[in-house]
Structure 1
Amino acid sequence: MNAFLRSCVFCCALLYSWCTQAAEPTVAVYYGDKASLSELSLYDIAVVEPDHGYDPVRFRKQAPGSDLYAYASVAEVQPSRGYFQKIPAEWKMARNGAWRSIVVDQTPAQWPAFFADEVIAPLWDKGFRGFFLDTLDSYRLAERFDEAAQQEGLVRVIDTLHQRFPGIKLILNRGFEIVPRVRDKIQMVAAESLYRGWDANLKRYVEIPAKERDWLQQQLQTIRERDKLPVLSIDYVAPHDRDTTRATAQRIAQLGFIPWVTDAGLQTLGIGAVEAVARRLLVLYNGSDDPALNYSSAHRFLEMPINYMGYIVDYADVRSPLPADVGRDRYAGVVSWFGGAIPDERFKDVRSWVVRQVQQGMPLLMMEAPGLPLDRTLATTLGVRSMEGAPTFPLKKAEQAPLMGFETEPGMPAHDYTGWLLTPQLQQQSRQLLSFDDAKGQRFVSAAITPWGGFVMTPYVLTDVPGTEQSRWVVDPFALLKQALRLSDIPVPDVTTENGRRLLLAHVDGDGFPSKAEAPGAPFAGEMLRREILERYRIPHTVSVIEAEVSPQGLYPKWADQLEGIAKRIFAMPHVEIASHSYSHPYLWDRRVSHGLFAESKEVDLNLNIPGYQMDLRREIIGSADYIQKRLAPEGKPVKVFLWTGDTAPSAEALAISDAAGLLNMNGGDTSITRSSPSLTEVKSWGIRKGGHLQIYAPVTNENIYTNLWHGPFYGFERVIETFEMTDAPRRLKAVDIYYHSYSASKQASLKALHKAYQWALRHKLHPIYGSEYIRKVEDFYEFAIGREGEGWRLRGPGRLRTLRLPPSLGTPVVAESTGVAGYAPGVDGSYLHLASGAARMVVRAGAVPAASIPYLVDANARLKDWQTQADGSLRFTLEGHVPLELRMYLPPGCSLSSATADSSISAVSTADRSAIRSFRSANNSAQLQAQCRAF
């Protein structure tokens, strides 16, 4: 391809972006209160109930190009509205019994000003600039009305809004007759129930008769053609029936209208031109099985594979009422995993809840099935035959699918074995994963993929390794989750990587800061840490101290001046961010749970022995951070992070205190897979949510685990390298985290192990970041939203997480046809997509994709900023990192990369081949760059 053609292709790519932005907007109408700002930002316009607390100003900052519109009822008002009591009685002309609202007369001269002052102005003050005006035709519910006068009143309302609020954007719901008179003042016209609707009197979903549908379709087509306005068609389908919802949206779109199909109450994220991916799984657990959620099997073992696949876990304890609003718009499936007996008083409710989910088509996976008594109702729903007696031994294996035997082979059943006997119909419709035939020829099934989901029975989920505390997966959890819950491959928000390079962080718990080191002069461990590690390895570090170990009021007042001086010098280092590791280093953070777990243990009250001190969460968290800020931190450098101590299982109350103080939090999880314990059961999730608050786990555990709780061998931390390697392939499961305590600097053996870990990291092409930056990415994982849009995907997040992993089945990104995509890099488990900000639209292609016609970023060890295509066709961007800059760019022939930063030198590094991927380096940590392609 010659340079002229390349230039044309480049311009076409720009035109594609402009045309995409100029297309009719995607719209959602959502009156619920559970959608995140990221989910709503999947749409160009999201109409919301303004009383639910959504912040339109914050929304526009987070999602440029998207906007929140407020719902506003013009001709009806419900008694719950604050302005209801101000409406004069003579303005109330009728009652809508189906919705329990009052119809307001549109003819009074004072009405337009009242509506502007009482309804729109308060919302305008909150930052709303767009409004969905509903109930324009409600005057027809009155026994007597002057239609022309009512319509004149509606026109006066719209004229008044434009006079009072310059720049206001309006969507009309119906009001077809007045559209020609106000079309220059409105953005769009909406109408409900083109194909499917809701009968408010009969309380059921209905199909619209052909005559009504044809009339409405003609009205909408007239508005499109005559008034040149976009048309939004809102239809209603039962929320669990996603297939009908999807098909109805497609039918609407084929007519050239903007589709939105949702439930009758508009409480779910429906389907329109964009379909939001349901990223949540609801996991049922029995809180009586374990003293805390942290210790439950579902969290310890299953949440990591769920996170890796891009999904989020919500937990529900079967001892409490189960959530009623588990809709297919937000939940991809339900998993149950519990063993202990459910309280008798809860059995019927739990059984009924499970049956209802199955009947409504929610995929269900039962781990260690069934977990609750298999009575006739449940057995009938699942298609399981009632069992009379145990199987007759001996048994022989009948079926074993490839996904059984993942880390260890399934053994033959013990004599207390009880599998399931399936009904003939279920047996025909299911795929047996593991089954056994008994001596009488009966088929007992231990694991299967069924029409309603799937199940795996004990002991074929996990097995314990005799003589150890280790476990092994019998079943492949990744394949099981995908097949049983029918999980689609999706772009996965990834917290391990940014701009194509695996993340590297280092963080230090303050324990042992005053310890005397095995070195001449017996310096403090804190000084050895500063001298031997922090001065040598100039990568980002998050370093903490324990207040009671270093303060004059602590345990070592005679050393306090020296210890505080060392801490001040460390915190003044430019590559160190400041963290607290508490006041007294509590071992247990959740007193209610811990007293149940450690009732006979001294650990329940274990912390540093400070005379007269009683454990206080606020003193531990806020007090310690305040001490560090006031006495140890340089001016203007804040304490950013709180690092959990002890069992690292804080209560929801502790997390709430940390959040309210503006502190990011981390620690826990204890990922420690090694070659002597090579199981994915040793790899934990990104974190855990409690009471609406998120605890972030450290990517990899600290040296305590590798040194047998600091009993030796003290060089044991060098085995963390095995963890780094085993969490990178065959799946990249974790960032590289060099995580240890101050006391590791006190012994020569442990210090050498630290050097080995750092040197391993520096030999690899990683992306160094601070602990706070990693924490923010994990927070974004739980907020990120993904939507399907034709051949492409809409990707929306708060902006700190900028990488998505693309499973190979999704194909290859087409950079020239995407927007907000800076590039991609191949990985061992899929491609890593680089976003230029928190929002992007990605187009992918299956099979071989032609070489890209425009430059794109392959990988870099720095964060991307200001990725912009200029009017002259050049690409300008900034990379900001923490170490000397390294990057690789895809540069088609005729394209070059240069630095726009005066003191930065970007120089090409020779490559072994003649590919279009070029490597560059700079001695600076950041640079402004420009990619320019010649055109003739």
Structure 2
Amino acid sequence: MKALLRSCLICCALLAAMWAQAATPSVAVYYGKDATMSELALYDIAVVEPEHGYDPVKFKQTWPNSELYAYASVAEAGDDRAYLSKIPAAWKMARNGVWQSTVIDQTPEQWPAFFADEVIGPLWQKGFRGFFLDTMDSYRLAEKFDEAAQQDGLVRVIKTLNERFPGIKLILNRGFEIVPRVKGLIQMVAAESLFRGWDANLKRYIDVPAKDREWLLSQLQTIRERDKLPVLAIDYVPPHDRDATRATAKKIAELGIIPWVADSVLYTLGIGTVEAQARHVLILYNSSDYPTLNETAAHRFAEMPLNYMGYIADYADVRKALPQNITRDRYAGIITWFGGSIPDQRVKDVRQWLANQSQQKMPILVLNTPGFAVDRTLPFGVRSSEGAATQPLKKAAQASIYGFEMQPLPPSFDYEGWTLAPETLQKSQQLLSFDDAKGKRFVSAAITPWGGFVLMPYLIEEVPGTNQSRWVVNPFALLQQTLRLADFPIPDVTTENGRRLLLAHVDGDSFPSKAEVPGSPFAGEMLRREILELYRIPHTISVIEAEISPQGLYPQWSKQLESIAQRIFAMPHVEIASHSYSHPFLWDHAPPRVGKEDKEVNLNLHIPGYVMDLHREIKGSVDYIQKNLAPPGKPVGVFLWSGDTAPSAEALAISDAAGLLNLNGGDTSITRNKPSLTEVMSWGIRKGGHLQVYAPITNENIYTNLWHGPFYGFEKVTETFEMTDSPRRLKAIDIYYHFYSVSKVASIKALHSAYKWALSRAVNPVFASEYIRKVQDFYEFSVGKDEHGWRMRGPGQLRTVRLPDSLGTPVMKGSINVAGYQKGPDGYYAHLTSSSAQMQTQTVVTPPKQAYLVDANARLSSWQPQADGSVSFSLQGHVPLEWRMYLPQGCSLTTAQNAAPSSASSDSLFIRSFRSTQTSAKLKVQCRAL
């Protein structure tokens, strides 16, 4: 046993020495619940509260270079810890009332085994291999204690953990005196409050006195130099003060100490050697203004520009209690967008909430109307004119971001603007303002010290005599300037490996209808023959159970219809989806969406005796398709929403529980007749913790006036494809239609037009399921910045980031898991090769010396660069391969069998194009020494 222990100690000593020689790890200490796994993966080590349900095994599998460590208190047990009741009374030596915990005596002989069995053991079983041992010095809170005996007990605890759990990694929070005795058994030593601290008794943040700082710094430097261990300093700064947080982290890092600076209870994502980019924007809305969240003005108009710039919209209904965890670590700003006045009983709370957020330095953008009277209780420095302007009014200022899709109209007779207090006016940039007949200044839009505002009607204007709208102000510039949104590598769902994504999906409507062609075949058969046999790109095809099953509406045709569906679903380039059981029009039956007189409540296929049931529509229809129509081993993986495509949170939860991906909704349909970004929707919408993913482009129903004609109207979808690609690539190409589109000659021709347009472009064809997973990843993707550049983490399906012009291009030599880049219509698109990447960027473009992938119509299944400049990589696609490589002088491309690709051509001096008849290839770039 002694020999085994000695062997373990030697191994641990070697591991500690290796760690000390390795690069200093980045560390986060986060006890909150709101950060995503990808945000925590930005750090090499993320210490978490294990009671919050983290899965360290799955985390490590996704991000092998990052690891979750579990918090564990050694000398204290909080009142909420289940094991506290098992601790004998004789071991409880003091009470820590400030933190609601009991101080535990470290001297009992049985204590180390108890701690290993009851505290660390269950966490080890969950997969944790690293632990942050806190409260090492808490025995000093007792009135009487034997310090040497307590320290001996702590040493026994650490030795016991190393014996019981080989390979365990430990970070000590303080315990300086015992470090020389256990330095071979621990990985790191931490301490709190080097520059900034938290006074738990006074409940306030403090500057650490110089004397205390010097003593603590001496302890940390001694451990680093004498014991060759990395040291971590955890400091505390108010969460809203990101400037102070950043400055404190920098001061700590300059001392050669790993920094982590966060709030007093470590519930926010602080700043260390890595600073996570805040990607969330909270939007306040009034649910009484709109039937569903899908129809709110903020979601319809503001969320798409936010998504395009890389930001995620969260929503809060002012009719309910507003969230209290809106902090600068994860939120970049707040937007309010109300249609009118908010309920009187909520005005006081909303006003106070906004005032608190402004005082916490959170940027706020007020759009359309504030929803209540603006007065001195808000620290905005503005006053409502309340109709006080004296006509006529003359334009005083108009910024360049105005006149985006139409020029602002002259003020109406009942015009209301805001007057700005002199100090606010001096510090603000007027975007649109007017002077009245008395020379008084009224402002309709401005960038202010606290954020900004745009008042109706100078945000979005309806076009008279139409159902169309236009942006009066540039929404991208407005959001960026008022909320001070930062530029960063933007996770992009439109593109992969430099090529715009192409998907095709079909709603099951009218599968049994007869095509108006000789022989009158069923639409299902017509689609198979006319489209699927001709265009061998990925398709996602759905059916409506009640249209084709023997128990459905057409039992006399069911055998034929099921046979057609089976043949379609057996095709290798078709994935299987459900379009429900009865094709409901409404998926959300909650008020105010459904009133007593709403005739759309029961609008679906008429099935005698059937009452709408969400489980039957979703899971039931999928079970029918899987059992009767799908080939063995080919699952039904996608659910396509029907009707108004606005599912409730309950419907989304049922879909998620069934393991289904979901798609549809959004109705992006910008055309030359409707040339406005108000016709372009966001990636999707989140409800109750579930995500509805929108179809990139809407279906033919919109282009054909709800299938009333003209039936060739879907030809205009190519205009939508073009206008969502330039000047900004806003959407993937999506050929989305119903089975009834193959029932008429004109609509069939329109389909061919859409396919031929799409396939004449440089695209990357994918299944709808692949696109959906990329959108899901967008909401989980994280970006951080360190001294080496940008860190990016995601679940692994989204593999493209778009670089705004301010960032330039990737530096290939200084980047990890970046395969290349391609110039797009709105910046460079960088190709990532895994769930984790590191990227340096440069604004001055210099020709790289490394070979890289320019673009491809397939996914990179591997990318393995070598030190000599060679690269081995694999492409896996759905169609014959096309790709382009940047091959500097001395570099050449071969297949794994050392043979040239089937065809190649030179596009420029160093860029070469390649083609292959295969859909997959293993390739290698070989270069002479660089």
| TM-score, reference length from structure 1 | 0.96
- Where do 4+ consecutive residues of structure 1 move more than 3 Å? 18-22, 385-389, 593-596, 598-601, 870-873
Contact 1:901 1:927 in 2 (8 A): no
Secondary structure of the residue that 1:407 maps to in structure 2?
Answer: coil
Contact 1:594 1:604 in 2 (8 A): no
Matched letter for residue 876 of structure 2: E
Alignment of 1:152-191 (within 5 A): 152-191=152-191
**Alignment partner, residue 806 of structure 1:** 803
| 1:364-411 per-position Cα deviation (integer Å, ceiling 9, x unaligned) | 000013222213312xx1101464752000110000001111100001
| 1:197-248 per-position Cα deviation (integer Å, ceiling 9, x unaligned) | 0000000000000000011111111111111111111000001111100000
Alignment of 1:254-293 (within 5 A): 254-293=254-293
Secondary structure of the residue that 2:727 maps to in structure 1?
Answer: coil
Matched letter for residue 785 of structure 2: R
Greater shift in the superposed pair: 364-373 or 555-564:
364-373
Distance 1:230 1:825 in 2: 40
Distance 2:355 2:130 in 1: 42
Computed over aligned residues only, the root mean square deviation of the Cα atoms, in angstroms, reads: 1.5
Contact 1:93 1:104 in 2 (8 A): yes
**Are positions 1:890 and 2:886 aligned together?**
yes
Distance 1:611 1:42 in 2: 55
Q: 2:611 aligns with which of 610, 614, 629?
A: 614
Contact 2:796 2:834 in 1 (8 A): yes
Contact 1:279 1:311 in 2 (8 A): yes
Contact 1:75 1:135 in 2 (8 A): yes
Contact 1:908 1:918 in 2 (8 A): no
**Alignment partner, residue 9 of structure 1:** none
Contact 2:386 2:416 in 1 (8 A): no
Q: 1:752 aligns with which of 749, 752, 755?
A: 749
**Are positions 1:519 and 2:517 aligned together?**
yes
Distance 2:706 2:735 in 1: 17
Distance 2:211 2:690 in 1: 52
**Are positions 1:686 and 2:680 aligned together?**
no
**Alignment partner, residue 334 of structure 1:** 334
Matched letter for residue 905 of structure 2: S
**Alignment partner, residue 5 of structure 2:** none
Report deviation, 1:935.
3.4
Contact 2:375 2:382 in 1 (8 A): no
Distance 1:772 1:386 in 2: 50
Matched letter for residue 472 of structure 1: R
Report deviation, 1:908.
5.0
Report deviation, 1:143.
1.4
**Alignment partner, residue 500 of structure 1:** 498
**Are positions 1:549 and 2:547 aligned together?**
yes
Matched letter for residue 862 of structure 2: D
**Alignment partner, residue 38 of structure 1:** 38
Contact 2:387 2:415 in 1 (8 A): no
Secondary structure of the residue that 1:382 maps to in structure 2?
Answer: coil
Distance 2:430 2:370 in 1: 16
**Are positions 1:232 and 2:229 aligned together?**
no
Q: 2:857 aligns with which of 861, 871, 874?
A: 861
Report deviation, 1:62.
1.1
Q: 1:588 aligns with which of 568, 574, 586?
A: 586
Distance 2:197 2:596 in 1: 58
In structure 2, relative to structure 1, the CA distance for the partners of 1:359 and 1:518 (3 Å cut) is: same
| 1:286-326 per-position Cα deviation (integer Å, ceiling 9, x unaligned) | 00100111110000011000000000000000000000010
| 1:265-292 per-position Cα deviation (integer Å, ceiling 9, x unaligned) | 0000000000000100000000010011
Identity of aligned residues (%): 72
Q: 1:452 aligns with which of 428, 445, 450?
A: 450
Distance 1:20 1:308 in 2: 42
Report deviation, 1:429.
0.4
Report deviation, 1:19.
13
Secondary structure of the residue that 1:705 maps to in structure 2?
Answer: helix
Secondary structure of the residue that 1:629 maps to in structure 2?
Answer: helix
Report deviation, 1:542.
0.0
Distance 2:656 2:341 in 1: 36
Distance 1:907 1:594 in 2: 61
Distance 1:434 1:82 in 2: 60
Distance 2:614 2:236 in 1: 49
Contact 1:78 1:100 in 2 (8 A): yes
Distance 2:445 2:836 in 1: 41
Alignment of 1:773-792 (within 5 A): 773-792=770-789
Secondary structure of the residue that 1:302 maps to in structure 2?
Answer: helix
Distance 1:388 1:613 in 2: 55
Report deviation, 1:490.
1.2
Alignment of 1:60-71 (within 5 A): 60-71=60-71
**Alignment partner, residue 375 of structure 2:** 375
Distance 1:387 1:532 in 2: 63
Distance 1:109 1:372 in 2: 66
Matched letter for residue 726 of structure 1: M
Report deviation, 1:96.
1.4
In structure 2, relative to structure 1, the CA distance for the partners of 1:385 and 1:631 (3 Å cut) is: closer
In structure 2, relative to structure 1, the CA distance for the partners of 1:764 and 1:594 (3 Å cut) is: farther
Matched letter for residue 746 of structure 1: S
Matched letter for residue 741 of structure 1: H
**Alignment partner, residue 674 of structure 2:** 677
**Alignment partner, residue 242 of structure 2:** 242
In structure 2, relative to structure 1, the CA distance for the partners of 1:503 and 1:388 (3 Å cut) is: closer
Distance 1:808 1:382 in 2: 33
Distance 1:542 1:189 in 2: 54
| 1:741-760 per-position Cα deviation (integer Å, ceiling 9, x unaligned) | 00100100000000010011
Matched letter for residue 392 of structure 2: P
**Are positions 1:906 and 2:901 aligned together?**
yes
**Alignment partner, residue 6 of structure 2:** none
Matched letter for residue 561 of structure 2: L
Secondary structure of the residue that 1:278 maps to in structure 2?
Answer: coil
**Alignment partner, residue 646 of structure 1:** 643
Secondary structure of the residue that 2:802 maps to in structure 1?
Answer: strand
Q: 1:851 aligns with which of 834, 847, 850?
A: 847
**Alignment partner, residue 305 of structure 2:** 305
| TM-score, reference length from structure 2 | 0.97
Distance 2:715 2:383 in 1: 54
Distance 2:588 2:602 in 1: 11
Contact 1:595 1:604 in 2 (8 A): no
**Structure 2: runs of 5+ lacking an equivalent:** 1-17
Contact 2:74 2:135 in 1 (8 A): yes
Contact 2:527 2:739 in 1 (8 A): yes
In structure 2, relative to structure 1, the CA distance for the partners of 1:446 and 1:921 (3 Å cut) is: same
Report deviation, 1:148.
1.0
Distance 2:586 2:892 in 1: 57
In structure 2, relative to structure 1, the CA distance for the partners of 1:22 and 1:898 (3 Å cut) is: farther
Secondary structure of the residue that 1:288 maps to in structure 2?
Answer: helix
Distance 2:303 2:227 in 1: 52
**Are positions 1:762 and 2:756 aligned together?**
no
Secondary structure of the residue that 1:809 maps to in structure 2?
Answer: coil
Contact 1:731 1:829 in 2 (8 A): yes
Report deviation, 1:600.
4.0
**Alignment partner, residue 628 of structure 1:** 625
Distance 2:382 2:191 in 1: 46
Contact 2:700 2:737 in 1 (8 A): yes
Contact 2:893 2:900 in 1 (8 A): no
Contact 1:281 1:332 in 2 (8 A): yes
Contact 1:305 1:477 in 2 (8 A): yes
Secondary structure of the residue that 1:167 maps to in structure 2?
Answer: coil
